[in-house]
């Protein structure tokens, strides 16, 4: 499709994107915030459980600490990634 002056009309002008429901946008935003709130504690819990299991299996008493540290680092990494993705979607 072409403009009046003969130049090519971009697709966005011909077919504007559908408008989103504000209620749906609010629910999606709440889900994203809930995801961020749950990532860190659950990753620390999983790291602790894996470390405690390895402690019992290998008859050690320090691996759970490494599991907690690994879980917290993984949790922070995932929170950072989710926040970065949300920043890209908002702009």
Confidence of residue 13 (pLDDT cuts 50, 70, 90): low
| Cross-strand pairs, 2 | 8
Q: Could you tell me the pTM of the whole model?
A: 0.67
The string of DSSP letters for 24-71 reads HHHHHHHHHHHHHHHHHHHHHHHHHHHHHHHHHHHT-SSHHHHHHHHH
Predicted pLDDT of residue 40: 92
> C-alpha distances in angstroms, 73 versus 13, 23, 61, 77?
46, 34, 21, 6
Tens-digit pLDDT profile for residues 40-89: 999 999 999 999 999 999 999 999 999 999 999 999 999 999 888 878 87
The whole-angstrom separation of Cα 45 and Cα 71 is: 7
């Amino acid at each position: 499709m072409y403009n009046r002056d003969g130049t090519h009309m971009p697709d966005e002008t011909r077919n504007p994107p559908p408008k989103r429901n504000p209620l749906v946008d609010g629910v999606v935003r709440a889900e994203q915030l809930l995801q961020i709130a749950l990532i860190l504690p659950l990753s620390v819990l999983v790291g602790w459980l894996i470390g405690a299991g390895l402690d019992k299996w290998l008859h050690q008493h320090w691996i759970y600490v490494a599991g907690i540290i690994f879980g917290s680092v993984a949790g922070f990494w995932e929170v950072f990634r989710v926040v970065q993705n949300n920043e890209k979607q908002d702009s």
